[in-house]
Structure 1
Amino acid sequence: MSLVDLSLLSGLEPDTKDLEQLVISSDQYIQHYEYKEGKVLLYFGELTSGPDPDCVSFGAKQINPMGLVQPANAILYDFYNPDRKCSVFYSAPKHSAMLSKVCHANVCQCAEGPCPRQRPTFNKAITQTTRFRFACYQPIADYVYEVELLNSTQKNVFDYYEAKIHRILKATTDESIQVGAHRQFLTRSMCKLNMVTGKRYLLMGKDGQTVDCNNKMQYFLDAQAWIEKIPEDSECRTTLHRQACAHLQDFMNTPDSLCLF
C-alpha cells in the first residue's frame, strides 16, 4: 500500500465528490482518502512500475483569495516503510486566475488585463500636453511621482520594484507619502518592463488598493499606468533630444497643483 500526502495550494479546498468518485468507481483508483488542515491523503492499494504513469485527478475550489500563492508539495510514501518516499513541488499555472490578484489581509486588487509599457521620451507623440492630459483628464492619474528605482525582486508571479520618491507632482489618498519615502510598485512577471535599478522614472497611475508589510500603500502597474524612464543628462545634451528633455523637465517642474492649469 502507498500513501500520497498532498498539501493544497493556499486558499483551496478539494471537491470531496470527486474524491468519493475515485473510491467508488469500478476501477477504484484509490482505496481511501482523508482531508484535514489543508492536506489531502490518498491511499493506494497498489502502484505499478510500468511505462505508463498512474494518474488520478480531482477538482478543487478557491475559498479564500490569495495574492501570492506559494508552491506546495506532494509526498509519496510506502505505507509500511515510510522511509521509502519521494516528493515533488507544484504550483498553480502561470496564467491561472488564482494568480490574478494582489492581496493583503482581506483586501485584494485585480491584477489582470494588458501589460503596461514604457513611454519613450524621444517619441514625437510624447509631449508635455500628452503628459498633462494623462495626469488630469484621461484616465486621470491618482499619483504623479518622480522616483529612483532602488531594487527589484520576484515573488511568485509578480515583480516588486522598490523606489525612492524624489518628487511628488500629485498625490491623492496616500497621505503619508513624502519626498524620500520608499514605495513598492509591482507588475506581473510576464510583463517585461525592463526597469533598471539606479535609474529615475516618471510614474503616473491609480492608487493601490493594498499595502505592503510596512502598511504603506503599494501600487500596481497595469496598462493604465504611465512609465517613462527619465533620460540621462548625456542624452539630453544632444541637439536631437534637447527639446524633448526640456518638455519633460517643464512637466516635472510643475507645482503640486498641476491639474489646475
Structure 2
Amino acid sequence: MSIIISLLNHKGGVGKTTSAINLGAALVKLNKKVLLVDLDPQANLTISLGIPRQRVTIYENMRGDAELQPYNVKEDFDVITSSLDLSGAEMELINEPGREYILRELFEPVQEEYDYVIIDCPPSLGLLTLNALTASNFVFIPVQTEFLALQGLAKIKQITDKVSFRLNKKLKMGGVIATMYDSRKILNRDIVSTIKKYFGDKVFKTKIRSNVSLAEAPSQHKDIFEYNKSSNGAKDYLALAKEVVGRLEEAPQKKSDA
C-alpha cells in the first residue's frame, strides 16, 4: 500500500516542486518505487522533468475522462503530468458530488504499485489542494528559511487539522522541510529555531542547503542526482529521503514491535 504525501505551501518559491522531484528521486535511490503527481496548473514539475504534453493529464483524470496514465521518467520513477487546463478544474468540479474525494478514488487502482506517491500541490488552498489532502497520509511543508516564508504556516496547519477531522482521519502532519538554508546567516538559523518552536520534532533534521545545482537541474530536465550527484543538493535530498523512510516506515515498525 502506497504512502501518499502532499507537499504543500501556499507561498510560492519555497522549493516545493524542487522537493517533490528530488525527494522522489532520492527515494528511488533507496529502492522505492515512486509516483509523482503534478497537481499544479502551472505544471512546473512536468516542465522541470522535460516531459512533453501528454494526451491524458491529471486534468482529464479529475474530470473523469480517463484513468491515471503514469509517464515513466526512469526505472521506478513515474509522473502524472499536469497542464494549464487544470486551472479550470476547480470551477468545473464545484458542483460535482463528492468532489473532495476525486483524487482518492483515482489513486485506488495504483495503490499497490508504488511505495510512495508524492503530490506537488498548487500554491493555494482550493479544491485541488483539498483533494490532495483528502487522498494523503501525510503533509510535508517546505519552508524557505526567510521571514516572509513563516507567514501562513498556522493557516496550513489549521486546514490540515480540519481535513483530518472532517474528511480524512488518516491524514497527519508529516514534517516541515527547511529549504534554501545557509548556516552562515543568522536569519536562517533564527527562522529554523522559530519553526521548531511551533512544530517541534515535526521539523526534519535535514536542511536543504542553498545550492546552485538545484536551480540549474530543471533547465536540463534532470533531477539533482542525474545533474550533479556530488552536489550538496543531492547529498541533502538523499539524507532527507533516509529520514523520511525512518520516520514513516521504520519508526512505526519499531513501535509495533515494542
TM class, shorter-length: under 0.3
Relative contact order higher in (CA < 8 Å, ≥ 6 apart): 2
Please report the TM-score for the alignment, with normalisation by the length of structure 2. Answer: 0.22
Please report the TM-score for the alignment, with normalisation by the length of structure 1. Answer: 0.21
From the CA coordinates, give the structure whose radius of gyration is larger: 1
Structure with greater strand share of residues: 1
Structure with greater helix share of residues: 2
